[in-house]
Chains A and B, each alone.
Chain A
């Protein structure tokens, strides 16, 4: 590829442009803004709106050409301000406005509307159009999140292009032709894309609006702060918009390294949970009559006494800290310092649903390296469901680049249709699948054709992390120069692990701590913004652990299942209520900003740790978030940097037990919308969780003589549950799949976690008919 720049002349100035760059982009860099509606730098040019017409002279005299469709050429002369250009742009705007309702005073876009702005800056000022305008039914619901007002639409093709090119969900399309052209879904098939909110953000008029923001504010009343989304560990850059101490929306910001301006719907809309009813505003102490509100002073005294009592009676091994992956780097650092000051070794930010911290000790890749790799090996959960914007980046690398995907999966995923090879394996056969796949000559040829990035995460919550990590290690060891992009899920899990909350050994991880608690040897169990009762895969162990722990201290923003019975509940600030930094899955540190105040007297996690340390006689020596940030920065965790710390690689025996009458592999993984607190307490998203069900192959349905919707009983060595069944053509007859953590909509639908045992490497079940 030639790096030679092309020189063109824009309004008399000489401008250097990259070969292939469009005139509109080159002119903009040079400071000459050309008006546009359809052009979007992250999507292909289509020349739909014609607003960017300028006079371009390529040697045959100046001619009006759409600058978003004309690549720069040497010697080209562009005039963006000539009389002809001005008249052309005025003419186009007059036409675009001919059918536009001009209902700006009641339109959500008013004040930040490209059509409004450019009508002022480049429009003729008045219209000659006096005829009746086109009329359509006012906003129609094209999905449960997005409303479409076709009268306002100027047919720029941005939303439909996004759905097709970027998201890969072409569920909206232009229908009809000529004057009747409109954006539309198929009847009864809504625009239920995981990325639908982006269309409302990029719509250059008020045609597409997102329901959670409709009629909530005017843009000029909004205050904005740049921040980072922490719904998952991709770490998309966002702008937090608030008004009167209320967060009203998140908008994606184009970050070249991470999200390219896109957000997933879960990340975009779960800000609603910040203002949910379940928020805890003051410390709560459990009494005989339930939780009673208390002052910080008394709650902290009680917590201090609990910790002191445990340290004195049974030593630091009787204290366990679980969680911490939902906070900032500063929160994690302070808690790690507190643990180390007290000698507490039992701390783990993951809830038995991630991978060993040693994963971070492998040679690491960035998202950018992934997107330019020649091969990406997926041994990870379904990226489209768990790390949605990483899915967009990888999909782009495959569709528009030359990256090829080799996928290991038991169920298929959102990327299967883009995979060069999709290897299906039984839950326990992953290691064999790796060996066999790597033996193929064509696979070897592909792997040696260029850089290889392995995306590694926990693909099955019903299998053990050791089993899957062993396969990752085997894979990385077999491929020369392969690097790893960790697909761990929670917002700041990498930051928490690297800031010191990672367990030193498997004997200190969450599973061991809960087992110890179940055995009665944990005096104080601290839940750091987590809910093991809902999130820990082995449900029985979580219940036994919480019941067996002497005292439970929960530090959380929302009331949740594990908090309901906690002895002390300390109200925590959530994202957008505290400042600091966060670390995404590649290790990139970015800032999160405080935009609003906490409800009641809630505090950031780090403040609680600092005060507890002080009360326990081991001052951490920091008093502000800036001081902690400075401490972190000295270890490399500086905003903007890609931060990594060494972890020792461990290997463990992973022999899979025989089938013993349970012959079907259970695969459990997360989907985008579940019963988790961020989704469940966001009214717009809560209804999108699919509910409890188990998916089986059509063969199994036929064999049992049942059909979708019927109830079946699943029996494992651990327990049994009854669930409605649904058909999934992607599954083999030896594998069934269920979504993790789904809310119980109808009583009698069991929780699939009752089947999972954390002591087994693979969960196997048998299916029984419910008569």
Chain B
């Protein structure tokens, strides 16, 4: 896989049309590319650059700022084990060891069959539920090593296909904004009126 498929190009065009400046569609299009291939390929970045009229270097520069875009192949399931304070104190290492043993790979690696990639992540904002981990950014709270092994086996066998989509899929329902419901792509330079929330605020409320 490489460039965006024809079906995805039409989705891309719809996304681009939402913005006054095509460049603004960069991040949504990177998500689209990641959804297509599981990671963002070089060819897809070139294609995005063509679609929104920037250089590939700008696409790469913007994309690599974001941790959740992967620029190298990752497994169908990306497991992020939290390693920050609360989770570390409550057994994150045990979870990691269980996952490593079950998958036969080291932290940071990907299984040979391309099913799993195992990472240690920084705080996932679920300290009250420590130790926690995420599979394709779906939480597993208060996990135990036994549960981790079970989780991996469920993912492997396909029992969780309905709950956990492959890496890259943000949501299984795609946003569609019919033309008559959208605000329209108005160039900020053409806007003369202050935005609604400013005029509302000036008519009272908090002073």
How many Å lie between the Cα of A170 and that of B64 in the bound state?
16
User: Restricting to B34-65, which residues have a CB under 8 Å from any CB of A?
Assistant: 42, 45-46, 54-62, 64-65
Across the interface, name the chain B residue whose C-beta is closest to A174. B61
Tell me whether A176 and B55 are in contact (CB under 8 A).
no
Across the interface, name the chain B residue whose C-beta is closest to A177. B65
Interchain residue pairs with CB less than 8 A apart (19): A169-B55, A170-B54, A170-B55, A171-B55, A172-B57, A173-B61, A174-B65, A175-B61, A176-B64, A177-B64, A177-B65, A177-B67, A186-B42, A186-B45, A186-B46, A186-B56, A186-B57, A187-B42, A189-B57
How many Å lie between the Cα of A173 and that of B57 in the bound state?
6
Contacts of A186 in B (CB 8 A): 42, 45-46, 55-57, 59-60
Contacts of B58 in A (CB 8 A): 170, 173
Contact among B45, B59, B60, B65 with A184 in the assembled complex (CB-CB below 8 Å)? B60
Contact among B42, B54, B55, B60 with A175 in the assembled complex (CB-CB below 8 Å)? B60
B108 to chain A minimum Cβ distance, whole angstroms, is 15
A304 CB-CB contact with B under 8 Å: no
Contacts of A174 in B (CB 8 A): 61, 65
How many Å lie between the Cα of A111 and that of B133 in the bound state?
53
Contact with B along A169-198 (1 / 0, CB 8 A): 111111111000000111101000000000
Q: Which of A169, A173, A184 has the most CB of B within 10 A?
A: A173
Tell me whether B65 and A170 are in contact (CB under 8 A).
no
8 shortest A-B CB distances, which residue pairs?
A173-B61, A186-B56, A186-B57, A173-B57, A175-B64, A177-B65, A176-B64, A175-B61
Contact with A along B91-125 (1 / 0, CB 8 A): 00000000000000000000000000000000000
B66 to chain A minimum Cβ distance, whole angstroms, is 8
Q: What is the interface residue range for chain A against chain B?
A: 10 to 19
How many Å lie between the Cα of A184 and that of B67 in the bound state?
18
Contact with A along B13-45 (1 / 0, CB 8 A): 000000000000000000000000000001001
How many Å lie between the Cα of A186 and that of B42 in the bound state?
9
How many Å lie between the Cα of A177 and that of B57 in the bound state?
15
Tell me whether A185 and B64 are in contact (CB under 8 A).
no
How many Å lie between the Cα of A184 and that of B56 in the bound state?
11
Tell me whether B57 and A171 are in contact (CB under 8 A).
yes
How many Å lie between the Cα of A169 and that of B67 in the bound state?
26
How many Å lie between the Cα of A187 and that of B57 in the bound state?
8
Give the dominant DSSP class at B's interface: helix
How many Å lie between the Cα of A174 and that of B58 in the bound state?
8
Contact with B along A146-189 (1 / 0, CB 8 A): 00000000000000000000000111111111000000111101
How many Å lie between the Cα of A174 and that of B57 in the bound state?
9
Contacts of B61 in A (CB 8 A): 173-175, 184
B201 to chain A minimum Cβ distance, whole angstroms, is 25
Tell me whether A173 and B60 are in contact (CB under 8 A).
yes
User: Restricting to B52-94, which residues have a CB under 8 Å from any CB of A?
Assistant: 54-62, 64-65, 67
Across the interface, name the chain A residue whose C-beta is closest to B42. A187
Q: Give 6 A-B pairs besides A172-B57, A173-B61, A184-B61 with Cβ atoms closer than 8 angstroms.
A: A170-B54, A170-B57, A173-B57, A175-B60, A184-B60, A186-B60
Contacts of A173 in B (CB 8 A): 55, 57-58, 60-62
B194 to chain A minimum Cβ distance, whole angstroms, is 23
How many Å lie between the Cα of A170 and that of B54 in the bound state?
8
Across the interface, name the chain A residue whose C-beta is closest to B61. A173
How many Å lie between the Cα of A401 and that of B59 in the bound state?
27
A146 to chain B minimum Cβ distance, whole angstroms, is 14
Tell me whether B57 and A176 are in contact (CB under 8 A).
no
A141 to chain B minimum Cβ distance, whole angstroms, is 15
A175 to chain B minimum Cβ distance, whole angstroms, is 4
Across the interface, name the chain A residue whose C-beta is closest to B66. A177
A206 to chain B minimum Cβ distance, whole angstroms, is 22
How many Å lie between the Cα of A185 and that of B58 in the bound state?
9
Contacts of A175 in B (CB 8 A): 60-61, 64
A519 to chain B minimum Cβ distance, whole angstroms, is 54
Contacts of B56 in A (CB 8 A): 186, 189
B64 to chain A minimum Cβ distance, whole angstroms, is 4
How many Å lie between the Cα of A172 and that of B55 in the bound state?
9
Contacts of B67 in A (CB 8 A): 177
Q: Which of B45, B55, B57, B62 has the most CB of A within 10 A?
A: B57
B67 to chain A minimum Cβ distance, whole angstroms, is 8
How many Å lie between the Cα of A184 and that of B65 in the bound state?
13
Contacts of B42 in A (CB 8 A): 186-187
Contacts of A176 in B (CB 8 A): 64-65
A182 to chain B minimum Cβ distance, whole angstroms, is 10
A351 to chain B minimum Cβ distance, whole angstroms, is 37
Contact with B along A584-599 (1 / 0, CB 8 A): 0000000000000000
User: Restricting to B152-205, which residues have a CB under 8 Å from any CB of A?
Assistant: none
A189 to chain B minimum Cβ distance, whole angstroms, is 6
How many Å lie between the Cα of A299 and that of B49 in the bound state?
61
How many Å lie between the Cα of A170 and that of B49 in the bound state?
12
B57 to chain A minimum Cβ distance, whole angstroms, is 4
How many Å lie between the Cα of A170 and that of B57 in the bound state?
7
B187 to chain A minimum Cβ distance, whole angstroms, is 15
B21 to chain A minimum Cβ distance, whole angstroms, is 14
Contacts of B65 in A (CB 8 A): 174, 176-177
B62 to chain A minimum Cβ distance, whole angstroms, is 8
How many Å lie between the Cα of A184 and that of B42 in the bound state?
14
User: Restricting to A188-227, which residues have a CB under 8 Å from any CB of B?
Assistant: 189
Across the interface, name the chain A residue whose C-beta is closest to B59. A186
B150 to chain A minimum Cβ distance, whole angstroms, is 35
B109 to chain A minimum Cβ distance, whole angstroms, is 20
A191 to chain B minimum Cβ distance, whole angstroms, is 8
B88 to chain A minimum Cβ distance, whole angstroms, is 21
Across the interface, name the chain B residue whose C-beta is closest to A160. B61
A515 to chain B minimum Cβ distance, whole angstroms, is 48
Across the interface, name the chain B residue whose C-beta is closest to A189. B56
A647 to chain B minimum Cβ distance, whole angstroms, is 43
A143 to chain B minimum Cβ distance, whole angstroms, is 12
Contacts of B60 in A (CB 8 A): 173, 175, 184, 186
Contacts of A189 in B (CB 8 A): 55-57
Contacts of A177 in B (CB 8 A): 64-65, 67
Across the interface, name the chain B residue whose C-beta is closest to A172. B57
Across the interface, name the chain A residue whose C-beta is closest to B53. A417
How many Å lie between the Cα of A186 and that of B61 in the bound state?
9
How many Å lie between the Cα of A361 and that of B65 in the bound state?
56
B142 to chain A minimum Cβ distance, whole angstroms, is 30
Across the interface, name the chain A residue whose C-beta is closest to B56. A186
